[in-house]
Amino acid sequence: MSPRSTIIPALRALSYRLAATGSLLGLGMLCTSPARANNRFLEIPQDVEAEGSPAYAYANLSNRAAYAELDRRRIAYLPETAIRGVRAPMRLKGPLNGVTIRSTLPEAEWDTTPYNILDARLALALDDFTRLLAMHDIVELVHFTMYRVPKVRGNEPQFRHPGGLAIDVGALKKANGEWLSVGPHWPGEIGAQTCGSGARRLLTRRGRELMSIACEVADRRLFHYMLSPHFDHAHDDHWHLEVKPGVRWFLVN
């Protein structure tokens, strides 16, 4: 049986479950102020260093500037209108740096499902991310969701998934057809360290490559939040990546 025949159905089933619950996947335990300085996974660099990161630069662009940068990079996208909670909504219309970003839903639903909507700011971070993935011969990224309809009423801009500013990565496909899947290849150990001195070492080659990619992304500071199976049980089978306007810290767990 091929990896695709076993991994993709499992990812698809999970995506439906996530969509049905609308859960924030444990992110409620993260406060919105940098007061969690006692969190050993929270890095708070000097302001000038944080503001020089791609994550900060992208998250704090105006809508016009974010779309203009997509155009400058010649990224194929389709703007969306009146998407509740999302400031600069869009859909990707082609690969980024040779990497196809796709949902676990059937292909016939990709152009209509709300879960493929994202904010232009996240799209810029993903453009950088896929450039790194291409260096690992990754040609496909399978996600569970990006946008999720906010539970709150009104049209105020939202963060995380309700703002189209986060993506849950389930699996990466290499050019040779091999899958790196977070669920089976990155067994969680709650509280374990992912990167740096004292980081946990996974036994399998695919798991080690997934963690290596994660740490390369962390080094480049492409996202403010990077939550793995080490964070909590809700993340056992995916990797949450997020940019957040206004913050000057980074959490890799």
pLDDT for res 88: 96
**How far apart, in whole angstroms, are the C-alpha atoms of residue 192 and residue 54?**
26
Q: Are 43 and 251 in contact (CB under 8 A)?
A: yes
Q: Are 111 and 59 in contact (CB under 8 A)?
A: no
**Tell me: the pLDDT tens digits for 68-104?**
999 999 999 999 988 999 999 999 999 999 999 999 9
Higher pLDDT, 42 or 175: 175
- In the chain, % helix, strand, coil (3-state, to 5) comes to 35, 20, 45
Q: Are 236 and 183 in contact (CB under 8 A)?
A: yes
Higher pLDDT, 113 or 26: 113
**Tell me: the pLDDT tens digits for 209-249?**
998 899 999 999 999 999 888 887 878 888 999 999 999 99
pLDDT beyond 70 at 110: yes
Angle between helices 205-220 and 120-135 (to 10 degrees): 130
Q: How does 141-151 read in b/e, with b if 16+ C-beta sit within 10 Å?
A: bbbbbbbbebe
Mean pLDDT of all residues in 151-174:
91
Mean pLDDT of all residues in 6-26:
42
Q: Structure tokens of 15?
A: 């995506």
Higher pLDDT, 66 or 198: 66
**How far apart, in whole angstroms, are the C-alpha atoms of residue 39 and residue 43?**
9
Q: Are 128 and 222 in contact (CB under 8 A)?
A: yes
Strands, E assignment, 64-131: 77-79, 89-92, 100-103, 118-119
Pairing of strands 166-174, 239-242: antiparallel
With cut-offs at 50, 70 and 90, classify the pLDDT of residue 6.
very low
Q: With 0.75 as the threshold, say if the pTM is over it.
A: yes
Q: Which residues contact residue 198 at a Cβ distance below 8 angstroms, ignoring those fewer than 6 apart?
A: none
pLDDT for res 211: 87
Phi, psi of 73 (to 5 degrees): -85, 0
